[in-house]
Structure 1
Amino acid sequence: MEKTILLVDDERMITEVLEAYLIKEGYNVVTSDNGLDALRKADSVKPDLIVLDLMLPDISGEEICRLLRKESDVPILMLTAKSGEEERINGIVIGADDYVTKPFSPKEVVVRIQAILRRTGKQAPQTDDQGEILTYNDNELILDLTKKEIVYRDEIVSVTPIEYKLLSNMAKYPGRVYSRMDLLEKIQEDGISYEGYERSIDTHIKNLRKKIESDPREPKYILTVFGMGYKFGGVPDAKNASR
């Protein structure tokens, strides 16, 4: 099935070039040059991924990302002229899945889009996850690996694709200690180098704890192993459902 990419940038030359490259790769492309229009199209078109420029004439890309994350887990690739570590980490904090710094190669953008779609499960089905449901602590936490949903205390939790990837990988092996680099490799799985991202794992873990821990300061699911990394502390239920 053809994937739809929403390109949001007020520089016409950028959208035209990226659109041409993406169409050549078989994607359906919708474009927007301002924030309000982008939000409307994101709601009506339901794109598989959004390429979002941070510098827009009406609403900042950061604010658009925050608004989208309240309603959707659509993958977001940010385009930014800011190359500092603080700016990159802030983009991850508010929900972006990746970023590309201007000026950039259109080919790199296409490769990163393909990589995001692969690791978020929107490019190809994860056959090893089909039909599997994992439950912990008397059904307090449920991971439906088929639907890629997380349920905490009977409510579906809205998580970003990266947060889902982190939790699902850790939950499959309770007690196993993962270094930050281990977790970084789990969410990448595409051979692309992401400088500075190792530190951003802490940010994703912090955000995830807010969503699945009754007290994030005293977590029972995502535990810190000092000097080493993190491990999943949930207790698997005796009868997990599987295919």
Structure 2
Amino acid sequence: MVNRKILVVEDEKLLNDTISTFLTYSDYDVVSAYDGISAVEMAKQHNPDLILLDVMLPCMLGYDVAKAIRKFSSVPILFLTSIEDKESKQKAFEAGATDYLSKSIDLSVLVEKINQILK
């Protein structure tokens, strides 16, 4: 079976590396971006099966990244962010989010959520 590819978009390098490593051990191929502009380019270049996307990014907010990606792809976009207010969640879904999770989520629960989305 071919591993599914996930694009992790997170500007905090340690967190990006931690999530990427955990997903790699969970049999996913992982590519990473650390800012909004790179995220859009990586989505075009790598055609991931799912995108994990932070809201607060250098260059572009995650909402704008999602809108840009929606112009060329219907890939599932899972927002993973520390911003948890109702307005931010609404903006994420309006931008094309598939789901919206808090960064305080356990990584094993994150993998379960990804598995559900990719079924």
Q: What residue is the counterpart of 2:29 in the other structure?
A: 28
- Greater RCO, CA 8 A, separation 6+: 2
Q: Which ranges of 4 or more aligned residues in structure 1 deviate by more than 3 Å?
A: none
Question: Greater helix percent: which structure?
Answer: 2
1:66 matches 2:58: no
1:2 matches 2:12: no
Paired residues for 1:175-190 under 5 Å: none
Amino acid at match of 2:111: V
Distance between the aligned counterparts of 2:6 and 2:68, measured in 1?
18
Q: Quote the offset at 1:89 in angstroms.
A: 2.3
Q: Quote the offset at 1:96 in angstroms.
A: 0.3
Amino acid at match of 1:102: K
Distance between the aligned counterparts of 2:103 and 2:28, measured in 1?
22
Paired residues for 1:23-172 under 5 Å: 23-118=24-119
8 Å contact from structure 1 (residues 32, 38) kept in 2: yes
8 Å contact from structure 1 (residues 7, 30) kept in 2: yes
| 3-state SS in 2 of match to 1:6 | strand
Q: Quote the offset at 1:102 in angstroms.
A: 2.4
Q: Quote the offset at 1:28 in angstroms.
A: 0.4
Q: Quote the offset at 1:12 in angstroms.
A: 1.0
Distance between the aligned counterparts of 2:58 and 2:42, measured in 1?
17
Distance between the aligned counterparts of 1:13 and 1:111, measured in 2?
22
TM-score (norm. length: structure 1): 0.47
Distance between the aligned counterparts of 1:13 and 1:20, measured in 2?
10
Alpha-carbon displacement from aligned partner over 1:81-133 (angstroms, at most 9, x marks no partner): 22122221221122100111122221222111111111xxxxxxxxxxxxxxx
Distance between the aligned counterparts of 1:86 and 1:60, measured in 2?
15
Distance between the aligned counterparts of 1:111 and 1:13, measured in 2?
22
8 Å contact from structure 1 (residues 17, 106) kept in 2: no
Distance between the aligned counterparts of 1:19 and 1:111, measured in 2?
15
Distance between the aligned counterparts of 2:90 and 2:8, measured in 1?
22
| 3-state SS in 2 of match to 1:79 | strand
Distance between the aligned counterparts of 1:57 and 1:87, measured in 2?
17
Alpha-carbon displacement from aligned partner over 1:123-171 (angstroms, at most 9, x marks no partner): xxxxxxxxxxxxxxxxxxxxxxxxxxxxxxxxxxxxxxxxxxxxxxxxx
| 3-state SS in 1 of match to 2:79 | strand
| 3-state SS in 2 of match to 1:71 | coil
Amino acid at match of 2:32: T
Larger Rg: 1
Q: What residue is the counterpart of 2:17 in the other structure?
A: 16
8 Å contact from structure 1 (residues 7, 32) kept in 2: yes
Distance between the aligned counterparts of 1:113 and 1:47, measured in 2?
13
Q: Which consecutive residues of structure 2, in runs of 5 or more, have no partner in the other structure?
A: none
